Structure 1
Amino acid sequence: MSKSFIIRDHERGHDTIRSDGTRSSYIAGHPDGFVTRASSFNFHDYQSGRPGFGPVRVFGDEIFHGAGCGYNMHPHHNFVICAFVFEGQLTHINTAGEGMVDQLRAGDYYVFSAGSGGKHSELSVTSEDMHAIYLWLMPRQLFLPPTYHRAHFDYRRRRNTIVQLVGDADTALPIPQDLRVSRLMADAGRSFTYTLRSRGHGAYIFVREGSATVDGVALGRRDSAGFSDRDDPAITIDIGEDDSDIIVVETIMIDDDNIKAWEHDHAGH
């Protein structure tokens, strides 16, 4: 039987995190600066919202407010973290390979696989707010060597096309999981079809800006829907009256018991 769910903007977990008290070692910047986070999924006590989708544990829509705001250097292991920047400038420092200091601006995105162990820091060093979406997922294989890849999405040249940013397409960033992230910048009134790889795959569709009717479900700005176990792999996306920016995360679906066992063994992420 086909499964689906809807998460309206107000139903996401909404948090404001300041650099003060016990948080100051993790949240960077002056206490006047702060991070706002709207979470579609959760992982233990990290973020609030609906339990994960397949191997996806976090889908965080975040804004860093204030110069120097962000996350201080902190460790991860056996997690894959993707960031997609929409506004401002993100300075990302990580320990993959020989180390990397990267500056990402609107349209830039990265895939950081912590694997056997790595650290990273996320900072907005200018006074301009930085807006990004963070995606965390479990890898297909544990204890892989840490890796980092980055690229740029040029919406002016890729408009009205579902463009795979992460996954197995020739121009996509590689990721150690059966998962794809695509972006659609579309004109009002257009119609598109996203086709899942198999019945064992699902899709989480997030309307970042604008509106769309997805498989008959009307979604507004920051609304989202998930679909899985479908007989028909084709998902229709009808853009509403405004130009729209839509993120599609397609992933293999994982048995819930396996997810719970994995979370128990990786509670420290």
Structure 2
Amino acid sequence: MHFGALRVLNDDYVAEGMGFGTHPHSDMEIISIPLEGDLEHSDSMGNVSVIKKGDIQVMSAGTGITHSEYNKNRDQAVKFLQIWVFPNQKGHPPRYDQISLNLADRRNRLQQILSPNAGDGGVWVHQEAWFHLGNFDKGVGVEYLLKKSGNGVYVFVLKGDVNIDGTELNERDGFGIWETDGFKLEALSGDAEVLLMEVPMNW
């Protein structure tokens, strides 16, 4: 909780046929990343949709919304990340977006899934934040250069083992990095999966 503008990282498991009933949010950028299964979403803006692995969903709660999320299936659990980021200011109009990305575009490289700019790759949010996902073979390394001075990066290892500038991280580890221009990430195991969340730190 509360790494700069990153308010919450929820690593959620929803049993078959279960979910979260209608509940309110305001002044928060809410990003959902499905990992397994199908999650059914509905909200007070009239959106009803199903998101699955490869999809990215974003809601700008702004002046206020209500929404619910349910496991659409009776025979399979849902696993998903729900991430809250503080917006750059309060009072934005509520907004919803959902896109599907090509999973092959994150094989042995970082795929941008979120940015502050519409059309720049992935969804966009009201914040100077950039998110990337990558799947790596053992021994493959990439360098990440921060997009904005003063930002930090919160690393979340979804699967496998990785090394970041000499620090070994394992499955479901989190690691905060700040006061740097960049870092090197290397997979220590096959099929390692990593989420990088770059956010402003002065929040």
**Secondary structure, counterpart of 2:125 in structure 1:** coil
Tell me the CA shift for residue 254 of structure 1. 1.6
Tell me the CA shift for residue 87 of structure 1. 0.4
Residue 204 of structure 1 is aligned with which of 123, 130, 154? 154
Q: What is the aligned-residue RMSD (CA, Å)?
A: 1.3
Q: Is the contact between residue 199 and residue 228 of structure 1 (CA under 8 Å) also seen in structure 2? A: no
Q: Does 1:253 align with 2:201?
A: yes
Q: Is the alpha carbon distance of 1:188 and 1:53 closer, same or farther for their aligned partners in structure 2, counting shifts above 3 Å?
A: same
**Secondary structure, counterpart of 2:123 in structure 1:** coil
**Aligned-partner Cα distance in 2 for 1:249–1:158:** 15
Structure having the larger proportion of residues in strand:
2
Partner of 1:188: 138
Structure 1 residue identity aligned to 2:31: C
Residue 79 of structure 2 is aligned with which of 125, 131, 142? 131
**Aligned-partner Cα distance in 1 for 2:6–2:148:** 18
Partner of 1:74: 23
Q: CA deviation digits over 1:60-81, x for unaligned, max 9?
A: 11110121x1110111111111
**Aligned-partner Cα distance in 2 for 1:121–1:65:** 15
Q: TM-score w.r.t. structure 1 length?
A: 0.72
Q: Is the alpha carbon distance of 1:105 and 1:198 closer, same or farther for their aligned partners in structure 2, counting shifts above 3 Å?
A: closer
Partner of 2:103: 155
Which protein has the larger Cα radius of gyration, Structure 1 or Structure 2? Answer: 1
Q: Is the contact between residue 154 and residue 177 of structure 2 (CA under 8 Å) also seen in structure 1? A: yes
Q: Is the contact between residue 106 and residue 133 of structure 2 (CA under 8 Å) also seen in structure 1? A: no
Q: Which runs of 5+ in 1 are unaligned?
A: 1-40, 42-51, 256-269
**Superposition pairs of residues 41-190 of structure 1, within 5 angstroms:** 41=1, 52-67=2-17, 69-96=18-45, 99-127=46-74, 128-167=76-115, 168=117, 170-190=120-140
Structure 2 residue identity aligned to 1:179: A
Superposed structure 1 runs of 4+ greater than 3 Å apart? none
Q: CA deviation digits over 1:225-250, x for unaligned, max 9?
A: 101122xx121001112211100000
Partner of 1:8: none
**Secondary structure, counterpart of 2:153 in structure 1:** strand
Q: Is the contact between residue 93 and residue 101 of structure 1 (CA under 8 Å) also seen in structure 2? A: yes
Tell me the CA shift for residue 171 of structure 1. 2.2
Structure 2 residue identity aligned to 1:226: G
In the comparison of the two structures, how many residue pairs are matched? Answer: 200
Q: Is the contact between residue 112 and residue 146 of structure 1 (CA under 8 Å) also seen in structure 2? A: yes
Partner of 1:30: none
**Secondary structure, counterpart of 2:12 in structure 1:** strand
Residue 188 of structure 2 is aligned with which of 218, 240, 251? 240
Structure having the larger proportion of residues in helix:
1
Q: Which runs of 5+ in 2 are unaligned?
A: none
Structure 1 residue identity aligned to 2:30: I
Structure 2 residue identity aligned to 1:234: G
Tell me the CA shift for residue 54 of structure 1. 0.8
